[in-house]
Every structure is written in C-alpha cells, then in structure tokens.
Structure 1
Amino acid sequence: MRLRQIEVFYAIMSTGSLRRAAEVLHVSQPAASKVLRYAEQSLGFALFERTGGRLVPTREALIMLPHVNTIFEKVSDLKRLTENLRYARDGHAISIGCVPSLGLSVVPRVIQRYHATHPGNELTIDTLHGPEIVSRILNHDLDLGIVFGTYEKQGLTASHIAEVPLVLIDQNCTKGPVALEDIDPARYIGLSENDPTARLLDMAWEEAGLSAVPVVRVRTHYMAAELVRLGGGCAIVDGLTALHHPGLPPPLPLKPPLGMACTVLFRADYALSHISQDILTLLKEEIKRDLAALPTL
C-alpha cells in the first residue's frame, strides 16, 4: 500500500465513514473512494464491506489496523521532531525539563539570572518526573533535563553536578542527626516507589534491618513537605525542598548521612550549546549557594 492509501484507510477506520474521512483529509469523497478502490485492488482483498450505505471493516482490515496505528504514531513523532528542529534549534532557544523539587526552588532563580543578561533568547521550562524527562529528551522535545538520581540509557548523557543531602522534616523533632530507627513509622510520609529517592531510602531501611511502610505515599518532595507543614507526619526530602518550602521545621540531617545525586541529562549525539553551558554554570552556582545555606548540615 502507498502512504496515501494508508491515510485513506486510517481515516475511514477513525471516522467510520467515507464522507467524514474525505473531510478530514480535505479531499472530495469521489477522490477518497478512488484511492480506497485502488488500495483494495493492489492488496487483492476488500478492506470494507458496503452494507446499507455504510462501510463495515473486513476481518483483514481489523488485522491490519494495529500495524497502521503504529505507522501513524511514527508519522506523528516525525512531525513533532521536524517542528522541534525547525523552531528550537536555531541557537537562540532552549527547552528544559526539571523535577518538581528543583522547579520550585533552584531552577526559577537560574532562569531569572540567565534571562536578565540574555533577554533575546527563548526559554521554555517544563516541570516533569524523571522518566518523562528522559523520554522527551530522546524525542527531541527537551534540550536539557535536570533530575534527581542517575539514568543509564542508550542515547543519553548524564552529568553529575551535585550531591544533595536528604533531610528529615518533623514538627515533633528538633535535634539531629536522626537515625532511621528513631523515625516513627506510624507518622512517616513516603515518596512514590518509582522515585529514585524512595528507592535509595528503601535500601537504607533494609540495610538498617528495618521495615518502614509509609502511612501515605506521594509523588513529589514538595507534597511530602506540605503534608508535614500541615501536621500530617514526618518525611525525608531533599535539602533544597526543605530549604525553600515555607513554614517547615528546621531540616535535620540523617545518621548515617544520605544524599541524592542531582544530574543533568542531554542527548548523547548533541554537544551542549552555549546556552546550555551557561545554564549549567548558573545551576551549579545556585545549588552550591543553597547547600551552603542548609542549617546544621
């Protein structure tokens, strides 16, 4: 089948009629019918049965549909790729994805500093979770990703920029460092099991011979911190979240200390642009400033 024939077949399957398919493709109904007839002739079997003025898919058409769906997913990916290459690769634009904790603390200051000295450059920022950031970098939707944890994936370069300490925030505890066994499991607010911090903590609990099943699990450090602020329990979060979330008790270090890598991700087949390099320099400066401001750590 030629691509145009596949388009007509896909449009009919999607809309349920030849008339609506022709409208979607911006062609006349006779023209769409002609393409369909040629497709069936080249295939040697019917794709639709004409019943009461309606087109009913044949068994062969239903078998073909998943494969055609895959083709159009690839076409959609290609379209998005060409749009990204057209509008975002001219040397004066950058798109960044960052995890929510950094999007609510360090990254806005980085962007503000950069934009103050480069007002003509276009910056796009998305707050996403780590796996989404990886997927969008590989799909050319993002230039840079800023995440917690490490990501080993083909086609991706990961650059470690800082080690961010994990801290306990607890309205009922004022002195640190705090050992895991001293944390009340009945009040413990945990992170989603897919979060790299949660995986690190699970290993730490296990090494300590403990088992902590959180009373509540949340997807972001920010939400865990907000629940602590409201008196919902205690949580272990990254130090940057603890520093910038208003109304929290002072963050307390853990015993033994635990830290989470802050990592910048980008495509392995691209050299960092000068904009990306400038952003990366500012990011390191801002994280270093925040880590120095963490009390008692």
Structure 2
Amino acid sequence: MRLRQIEVFYAIMSTGSLRRAAEVLHVSQPAASKVLRYAEQSLGFALFERTGGRLVPTREARIMLPHVNTIFGKISDLKRLTENLRYARDGHAINIGCVPSLGLSLVPRVIQKYHAAHPGNELTIDTLHGTEIVSRILNHELDLGIVFGSYEKQGLTACHIADIPLVMIDQKNTKSPMALEDIDPARYIGLSENDPTACLLDMAWEEAGLAAVPGVRVRTHYMAAELVRLGGGCAIVDGLTALHHPGLPKPLLLKPSLGMACTVLFRADYALSRISQDILGLLKEEIKEDLAALPEN
C-alpha cells in the first residue's frame, strides 16, 4: 500500500464514513473512493463491505488497523520532531523538564535569576516524571532534563550535579539521626515503586533485614511531604523538598545516611548551548546554597 492509500484507510477507520474521511483529508469524496478502490486492488482483498450505504470494515481491515495506528504514531512523532527542529534551534530559546520535587523551589529560583539577567531569551519549563523527561529529550522536545537518579540510555549524556540527602519528616518525632528500624511501618508513607528514590530505599530496607509495606504510596516527594504536614504519617523525601515545603517539621537525617544523585540530562549528539551552560551553572550554585541550609547532624 502507498502512503496515500494508508491515509485514506486510516481516515475511514477513524471517522466511520468515506464522506467524513474525505473532509478530514481535504479531498473530494470521489477522489477518496478512487484511492480506496486502488488500495483494495493492489492488496487483492476488500478492506470494507458496502452495506446499506455504509462502509463496514472487513476482518482483514481490523487485523491491519493496529499496524496502521503504529505507522501514524510514528508520523506524528516525526511531525513533532520537525517542528521542534524548526522553532527551537535558534540559540535563544530553551525547553527544560524537571521532576516535581525540583520544581517546588530550586528550578523556579534558577529560572528567575537567569531570566532577570537575560530577559530577551525564551524559557519553557515542564514538570514531568523522569521517564517522560528522557522520552522528550530524545524526541527533541526538551533541551535539558533535571532529575533524581541516573538514567543510562543510549543517546543521552548524564551530568552529575550533586548528591541530595534523603531525610525523614515526621510531626511526632525529633530523633536525629533516624535509623530505619525505628520508623513506625504503620505510619510510613512510601513513594511509587517507579521512583528512583523508592528503589534506593527498598534496597536499604532489604540490607537492614527489614520490610516496609506502606499503607499509602504516592508518586511525588511533594505529595508525601503534604501528607506529613497534614498529620498523615511520616515519610522519607529528598532534602530539597523537606527544606522548601511550607509547614513541615525539621527534617531528620537517616542512619545510615542515604542520598540521591541530582542529574542533568541532555542529548549526546548536541553540544550544550550557551543558555544551557548558564542555567547549569546557576543550578549548581542554588543547590550548593540549599545543601548548606540542611541539618548536618
């Protein structure tokens, strides 16, 4: 099948009629019908049965549809890619993705400082989960990604910025450092199993010979911190969230200490632009200030 024939087939399957398919494709109905007829002739089987003026997909058409959906998904990706290449490569714009915890205070401060010094440049910031950030960088939708953990993936460069300590936050406890075995499992609020911090904590629990099965799991450190603020239990979060989330008790260090890498991701086949380099420098400065404000013992 030629691409135009696939387009007509896909449009009919999507809209349910030849007339609406022709409208979507901005062609006349006879023209769409002619393309469909040629497609069926080249395939050697019918794609639709004509019943009472309606086109009903054949068994063969339904079998083909998932593969055609994949093709149009790739075409959509290609279209988005070319738009990004056209509009986002002029050196005066940058698209940044960061995980929610870093979007609470750190990244906004960095952006504010950069924008104050360079008001003519365009900055776009998205708050996303780590896997989404990786996908968007590889698809040229983001220039930089700021994440927790290290994402080893072909086509990506990972730049380690700092190690962020994990801390305990608990309205009912002031003991510091806090050993894992002293945490009340009935009150423990856990993180989603897909979170890199959760993976690190699971290994720490296992090494300590303990098992923690949280009654509540959340996808972000921010949500865990808010539940603690509301008296919903205790949680282990990154130190930056504990530092800047309003209304939290003083963060407690862990024993043994645990930390999570803060990493900047970008495409391996592009040199960092001047904007990216400047933002990277500001990011290091702001993290250094935050880490100095965290308790040392």
**Do Structure 1 and Structure 2 share a fold, with TM-score over 0.5?**
yes
Q: Using the TM superposition, give the Cα deviation of residue 172 of structure 1 relative to its aligned residue in structure 2, in angstroms.
A: 1.4
Cα deviation code 1:101-155 (max 9, x no counterpart):
0000200000000001111111110001111111111111111110001111111
Partners of 2:175 and 2:53 lie apart in 1 by 79
Partners of 1:143 and 1:169 lie apart in 2 by 34
Q: Using the TM superposition, give the Cα deviation of residue 269 of structure 1 relative to its aligned residue in structure 2, in angstroms.
A: 1.2
Q: Using the TM superposition, give the Cα deviation of residue 241 of structure 1 relative to its aligned residue in structure 2, in angstroms.
A: 0.3
Cα deviation code 1:155-187 (max 9, x no counterpart):
111111000000111111113111111111111
Partners of 1:51 and 1:10 lie apart in 2 by 19
Q: Secondary structure at the match of 2:254?
A: strand
Partners of 1:136 and 1:236 lie apart in 2 by 29
Query: What TM-score, normalized by structure 2, do the two folds share?
Result: 0.98
Question: Contact 1:190 / 1:217 at 8 angstroms: preserved in 2?
Answer: yes
Cα deviation code 1:234-266 (max 9, x no counterpart):
111100000001111101111111100000111
Q: Secondary structure at the match of 2:186?
A: helix
Cα deviation code 1:169-212 (max 9, x no counterpart):
11111131111111111111111111111111111111111111
Task: Count how many residue pairs are aligned between Structure 1 and Structure 2.
Answer: 297
For 2:65, the equivalent position in structure 1 comes to 65
Structure 2: gaps of 5 or more residues: none
For 2:146, the equivalent position in structure 1 comes to 146
Question: Contact 1:168 / 1:235 at 8 angstroms: preserved in 2?
Answer: yes
Question: Contact 1:145 / 1:264 at 8 angstroms: preserved in 2?
Answer: yes
Q: Secondary structure at the match of 1:282?
A: helix
Q: Using the TM superposition, give the Cα deviation of residue 228 of structure 1 relative to its aligned residue in structure 2, in angstroms.
A: 0.8
Q: Using the TM superposition, give the Cα deviation of residue 215 of structure 1 relative to its aligned residue in structure 2, in angstroms.
A: 2.1
Question: Contact 2:164 / 2:239 at 8 angstroms: preserved in 1?
Answer: yes
Partners of 2:234 and 2:66 lie apart in 1 by 48
Partners of 1:16 and 1:239 lie apart in 2 by 54
Q: Secondary structure at the match of 1:226?
A: helix
Greater alpha carbon shift after TM alignment, 76-85 vs 55-64: 55-64
Question: Contact 1:177 / 1:254 at 8 angstroms: preserved in 2?
Answer: yes
Question: Contact 1:81 / 1:141 at 8 angstroms: preserved in 2?
Answer: yes
For 1:264, the equivalent position in structure 2 comes to 264
For 2:158, the equivalent position in structure 1 comes to 158
| 1:3-82 equivalences in 2 (<5 Å) | 3-82=3-82
Question: Contact 2:229 / 2:247 at 8 angstroms: preserved in 1?
Answer: yes
Question: Contact 2:253 / 2:295 at 8 angstroms: preserved in 1?
Answer: no
Question: Contact 2:156 / 2:265 at 8 angstroms: preserved in 1?
Answer: yes
Partners of 1:64 and 1:211 lie apart in 2 by 48
Partners of 2:40 and 2:201 lie apart in 1 by 59
Q: Using the TM superposition, give the Cα deviation of residue 222 of structure 1 relative to its aligned residue in structure 2, in angstroms.
A: 0.7
Q: Secondary structure at the match of 2:123?
A: strand
Q: Using the TM superposition, give the Cα deviation of residue 213 of structure 1 relative to its aligned residue in structure 2, in angstroms.
A: 1.1
Partners of 2:292 and 2:241 lie apart in 1 by 14
Question: Contact 1:101 / 1:222 at 8 angstroms: preserved in 2?
Answer: yes
Query: What TM-score, normalized by structure 1, do the two folds share?
Result: 0.98
Q: Using the TM superposition, give the Cα deviation of residue 41 of structure 1 relative to its aligned residue in structure 2, in angstroms.
A: 2.1
Q: Superposition RMSD on alpha carbons, in Å?
A: 1.0
Question: Contact 1:252 / 1:296 at 8 angstroms: preserved in 2?
Answer: no
For 1:222, the equivalent position in structure 2 comes to 222
Q: Secondary structure at the match of 2:210?
A: coil
Q: Using the TM superposition, give the Cα deviation of residue 40 of structure 1 relative to its aligned residue in structure 2, in angstroms.
A: 1.8
Q: Using the TM superposition, give the Cα deviation of residue 59 of structure 1 relative to its aligned residue in structure 2, in angstroms.
A: 2.2
Greater alpha carbon shift after TM alignment, 46-55 vs 100-109: 46-55
Partners of 1:115 and 1:226 lie apart in 2 by 30
Percent identical across equivalent pairs?
90
Question: Contact 1:161 / 1:264 at 8 angstroms: preserved in 2?
Answer: yes
Q: Using the TM superposition, give the Cα deviation of residue 296 of structure 1 relative to its aligned residue in structure 2, in angstroms.
A: 3.2
Question: Contact 1:166 / 1:260 at 8 angstroms: preserved in 2?
Answer: yes
Partners of 1:257 and 1:58 lie apart in 2 by 63
